[in-house]
Amino acid sequence: MPTNAKNFLPVLTVLLLATCPQANAQNTPAAPQPPTPVQPAALNLNSFAAANDSLLHRVARTRSQAEARVSSFKATQGSFGGLHRKVRSYAGTPKGMVNAVGVQTSSGVAKEQTIKQRYGIELEKVVYHDAKGRKVLTERYEGHQLTRLELFEYNESFNAPVSSGLLVRGVYLRYIFSSVSLVYKGGQQTSYFFRPRPAGE
pLDDT above 90 covers what percent of the chain?
35
Task: For residues 80 and 99, give the distance between their C-alpha atoms in angstroms, rounded to a whole number.
Answer: 32
Q: How many CB atoms lie within 10 A of CB 30?
A: 6
pLDDT at 14 over 50: no
Is residue 174 within 8 Å of 157, Cβ to Cβ? no
> What pLDDT is recorded for position 119?
82
pTM reported for the whole predicted model = 0.67
- CB under 8 Å to 142, separation ≥6 — which residues? 121, 122, 123, 124
pLDDT above 70 covers what percent of the chain?
61
> What pLDDT is recorded for position 125?
96
Is residue 129 within 8 Å of 135, Cβ to Cβ? yes
Q: How confident is the model at residue 34 (pLDDT cuts 50, 70, 90)?
A: very low
Chain mean pLDDT for the chain: 74
Q: How confident is the model at residue 12 (pLDDT cuts 50, 70, 90)?
A: very low
